[in-house]
């Protein structure tokens, strides 16, 4: 089975990357411009494999275009650049895309411990049984501003990585038990600190939504790791170090800017 997958992947990578796809990435995914040439080449290959494997479905009257597929695939594959895997999001069956924020009936815990029930505008969701749901407006907004710490694709695809360990608990598949223990120590302490700050209504670098659960904390931390890596490294060095070890990437080394805790 793995031999067939490897041969199929090689055949995909032998195909030239469509220049119109790179035009889309350059226009819609500014983070691509920070990557060195070797990483850009690697990302283009991951995008080819991803788009060959993962179907997209338009919802709410949205017609799926190459711009939608390539923009989402590029951001989803940025998370995989250092993970060296044959299967890209193996549990992911389909990506559903709405034109705008959509309404869903939810029972949602809030950072302050309350629970909100009823209809809610959503920009994205990740389901444990293999679906990612996204708002195209929010995809474009999150990708275009690389300094606001908000990126719905990074967030929802981080949930998919989290699910690979068996349950969305804020702990993706890690190298070994020692790595898992250190991950639990650092992220557990950071999560508790964020929860405490939210309870005391203190300003935080990380989005307070990360205090909802360990799973949301990991997804929020992933957004900041790729969007505000210099700030995250300066203000939360151990958290940055754990994410750098897991993703095997160092985005702070690519982005030069003043940080502010």
Closest by CA position to 198, among listed 113, 76, 80, 95: 113
In terms of C-beta density within 10 A (0-12 exposed, 13-18 middle, 19 or more buried), how is residue 248 classed?
A: exposed
User: 3-state DSSP call for residue 242?
Assistant: helix
The pLDDT value recorded for residue 112 is 65
Q: What pLDDT shows up at residue 119?
A: 66
pLDDT at 193: 98
Domain boundaries, the chain: 2-253
pLDDT for res 113: 66
Q: What are the CA-CA distances from residue 25 to residues 40, 54, 161 (Å)?
A: 10, 18, 23
**pLDDT the model gives residue 22:** 97
- 94-98 and 131-135 as β-strands: parallel, antiparallel, unpaired? parallel
Q: At 97, phi and psi to the nearest 5?
A: -125, 125
Contacts of 239 (CB under 8 A, 6+ apart): 186, 187, 190, 221, 232
Per-residue model confidence as pLDDT tens for the chain (261 residues): 445 467 777 777 778 999 999 999 999 999 999 999 999 999 999 999 999 999 999 999 999 999 999 999 999 999 999 998 878 999 999 999 999 988 776 666 666 666 667 667 778 999 878 899 999 999 999 998 888 999 999 999 999 999 998 878 999 999 899 999 999 999 999 999 999 999 999 999 999 999 999 999 999 999 999 999 999 999 999 999 999 999 999 999 998 654 555
Q: Cα(191)–Cα(196) distance, rounded to whole angstroms?
A: 9
Judge residue 204's burial from the number of C-beta atoms within 10 Å of its C-beta, 0-12 exposed, 13-18 middle, 19 or more buried.
middle
What are φ and ψ of residue 57, in 5° steps? -130, 130
User: In CATH, which of 3.40.50.1980, 3.50.50.60, 3.40.50.720, 3.40.390.10 is domain 2-253?
Assistant: 3.40.390.10
Predicted local confidence at residue 108, as pLDDT: 62
- Rounded to an integer, what distance in angstroms lies between the CA atom of residue 233 and that of residue 252? 7
For β-strands 102-109 and 115-122, DSSP reports them as: antiparallel
pLDDT computed for residue 2 by the predictor: 46
Instruction: Give the list of residues 6+ apart from residue 205 with CB closer than 8 angstroms, or none.
Output: 149, 224, 228, 231, 232, 235, 236, 261
Q: What DSSP line would sit under 18-71, residue for residue?
A: PHHHHHHHHHH-GGGGGS-HHHHHHHHHHHHHHHHH--EEE-TTPPP-HHHHHH
What is the predicted pLDDT for the residue at 221?
A: 98
- pTM of the model as a whole: 0.90
Q: How far apart are CA 53 and CA 31, in angstroms?
A: 24
């Amino acid at each position: 089975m793995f031999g067939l997958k490897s041969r199929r992947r090689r055949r995909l990578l032998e195909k030239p990357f469509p220049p119109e796809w790179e035009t889309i990435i350059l226009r819609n995914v500014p983070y691509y411009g920070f990557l060195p040439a070797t990483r850009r080449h690697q990302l283009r290959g991951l995008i080819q494999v991803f788009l060959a494997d993962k179907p997209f479905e338009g919802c709410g009257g949205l017609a799926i275009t190459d711009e939608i597929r390539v923009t989402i695939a590029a951001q989803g594959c940025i998370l995989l650049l250092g993970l060296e895997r044959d299967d890209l999001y193996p549990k992911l069956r389909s990506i559903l895309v709405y034109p705008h924020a959509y309404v869903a009936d939810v029972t949602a815990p809030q950072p302050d411990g309350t629970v909100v029930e009823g209809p809610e505008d959503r920009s994205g969701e990740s389901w444990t049984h293999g679906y990612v749901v996204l708002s195209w407006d929010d995809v474009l907004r999150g990708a275009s501003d690389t300094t606001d710490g908000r990126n719905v694709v990074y967030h929802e695809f981080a949930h998919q990585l989290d699910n690979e360990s068996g349950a969305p608990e804020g702990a993706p598949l890690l190298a070994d038990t020692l790595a898992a223990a250190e991950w639990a120590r650092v992220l557990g302490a950071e999560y508790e600190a964020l929860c405490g700050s939210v309870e005391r209504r203190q300003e935080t670098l990380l989005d307070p939504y990360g205090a909802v659960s360990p799973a949301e904390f990991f997804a929020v931390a992933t957004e900041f790791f790729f969007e505000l890596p210099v700030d995250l490294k300066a203000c939360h060095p151990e958290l940055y170090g754990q994410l750098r070890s897991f993703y095997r990437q160092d985005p702070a080394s690519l982005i030069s800017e003043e940080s502010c805790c």
